[in-house]
Amino acid sequence: MFSGIVEEMGVVKSLVRDLAGVRLSILASTVLKDLQLGESVSVSGACLTAAGVGDADFSVDVSVETLDVTTLGTLTAGAAVNLERALKLNDRLGGHLVTGHVDGTGILRERTQEGNTLLLTFEVPEPVLRYCISKGSITVDGVSLTINSVLENGISVAIIPHTAQVTTLGIKQPGDAVNLESDLIGKYVERLLQNSGRLPGKAAPVIDRDYLERRGLT
């Protein structure tokens, strides 16, 4: 579990691809201070497990499934990523409850500056947009944000100077893809209503060739 308060920006040192996925090596400093093998780290919003920890970097394995539903498959050496260690139970919850399980990807469509505030508009897929409400929470590339407004096919958010400086959101440009995780509470409420018969259940996925190929099963 995470809070969406990014501790630092890391830099992708290397990527090694094989049939099982990708091993990422990431240069970092703050998150290395007490990081142990097997612990969870949020890498641009995706919860990954530390598979190796060095003096100046750590490595994680990214499965085919994670590559399919996140932007991690598009990373290259030198790319910046947002990093956060898992929460401790006695920590302050400065953002909101974040699982690190990415629901989908969005696209930055507009970037405008108003005074010292950076306004970003993202195109958001319907499975994520359904949980978005004005003044509610959303995680964008691992950053806990408050939704300014909900649009027909997306959302707008306001980025303060500190957030723009210490996360990758400050360098994102129109057309860039981002990882999205909707508010956990909304998902539980929906599930409870479905179980009580007050909402229809979700349709089962269509298991076709495209579905199998995207999961590396063909």
Domain locations along the chain: 8-85, 104-195
What single-letter amino acid sits at 28? A
What single-letter amino acid sits at 118? L
Reported as type and span, the H/E element at residue 188 is helix 184-195
Asked whether the domain spanning 104-195 has the same topology as the one spanning 8-85, the reply is: yes
pTM: 0.86
Give a three-class secondary structure readout of 53-105. Answer: ECCCEEEEEEEHHHHHHCCHHHCCCCCEEEEEECCCCCCCCCCCCECCCCCEE
Quick one: pLDDT at residue 214? Answer: 58
Q: How many CB atoms lie within 10 A of CB 99?
A: 15
User: Hey, is 214 helix, strand or coil?
Assistant: helix
pLDDT tens, position by position, 26-83: 999 999 999 999 999 999 999 999 999 999 999 999 999 999 999 999 999 999 999 9
Query: Out of 1.50.10.150, 1.10.287.70, 2.40.30.20, 3.40.50.150, which CATH number does the structure's domain 104-195 have?
Result: 2.40.30.20
Quick one: pLDDT at residue 217? Answer: 60
Instruction: Say if strands 137-140 and 143-150 run parallel, antiparallel, or are unpaired.
Output: antiparallel
Determine the CATH number of domain 8-85: 2.40.30.20
pLDDT tens, position by position, 111-155: 999 999 999 999 999 999 999 999 999 999 999 999 999 999 999
Kindly tell me the sign of the dihedral angle through the C-alpha atoms of 83, 85, 86, 87.
Answer: negative
Reported as type and span, the H/E element at residue 109 is strand 104-114
pLDDT tens, position by position, 3-40: 999 999 999 999 999 888 999 999 999 999 999 999 99
Reported as type and span, the H/E element at residue 3 is none
